[in-house]
Structures are given as structure tokens and as C-alpha cells.
Amino acid sequence: MPKVSVEDLKAGMKLAKALSRGNMVLLGEGTVLTETWISRIGDMGVDAIFVDGPSEQPIPKEEAIRQLDLRFRNVLDKPYMERIKKMVQEHIERLYV
């Protein structure tokens, strides 16, 4: 779930976390944003909110996996490292769906 700054919010985006002030929930999780909500969020002085969907990744998936291979190249024979690498690889692949 990407954190999007108020300037970049667009109508139709869905809140991934409730937006609250103190103990009061202002907009619940799953709220679909409208232009009105977006301008009110801005008026409240909120900088950024979490919306649904995968975060935008700075590099393409193939490049991310290539760098992952490079990072692990010296330790794959060490205990647990292959398993850790597999978990990180699965995590990275989930970021690109």
C-alpha cells in the first residue's frame, strides 16, 4: 500500500488505513476518495495517506531480482540464507502484481 501525498491523491483511490484524529475516525478504511474528501483532507493539514494498491517501484522487477541475486551471491551456502532469500524474493514478486 503506497503512501500518497495529498497533492497526488485522485478521486477513486481507496483508503488502505482509516484516517483518524486523536481517537476519532474521520474516514474509515476502504473509503473511496472523492474530490470533496481530497480537498478536506488537504484542509485538515494531513500530509499524506495510505491508499490501496502496490507501491510504485523505482526499478523493474527483473532488475530487482538481479540485484537480489547479487546481494546474496556469497552467502547462499550459509545456514538459513537460501530460505531468507526465497522469502525476500517472494516479497519482491508480490510488489509487482
Partner 1 sequence: MSDKIDIRTLRSNVESINALPTVPSTLRRISLVMEKPSIGLDELGSLISNDPALTAKILRMINSAAYGFPGRISSVSHATMLLGLSVIKGLLIGVSVFELMEKTMIGLWEHSLGCTVVARMIAQKKGLKEPEEVSVCGLLHDIGKAVLMLQYAEMYDKAMHEAEKTGTNIHETEAGYFMASHAEVGHWLVKKWHFPMNLVETIRYHHHPNLSKQSPIETAIVHVSDVLVRAKGVGYPGDLVVPAVHPAAWKLLNLSENDVGDLLNNLEDATSSVREMT
For residue 75, the SS3 value is coil
Contact between residue 27 and residue 54 where contact means Cβ atoms under 8 Å apart: no
Instruction: Compare residues 62 and 80 and give the one whose CB is closer to partner 1.
Output: 80
Bridge-partner residues for 20, per DSSP? 25
Residues making contact with partner 1 (CB under 8 A): 1-3, 20-23, 47-48, 50, 55, 64, 67-68, 70-75, 78-81, 84-85, 87-88, 90-92, 95
**Shortest approach of partner 1 to residue 59 CB, angstroms?**
10
What's CA 60's distance to the chain center, in Å? Answer: 16
Instruction: Compare residues 32 and 81 and give the one whose CB is closer to partner 1.
Output: 81
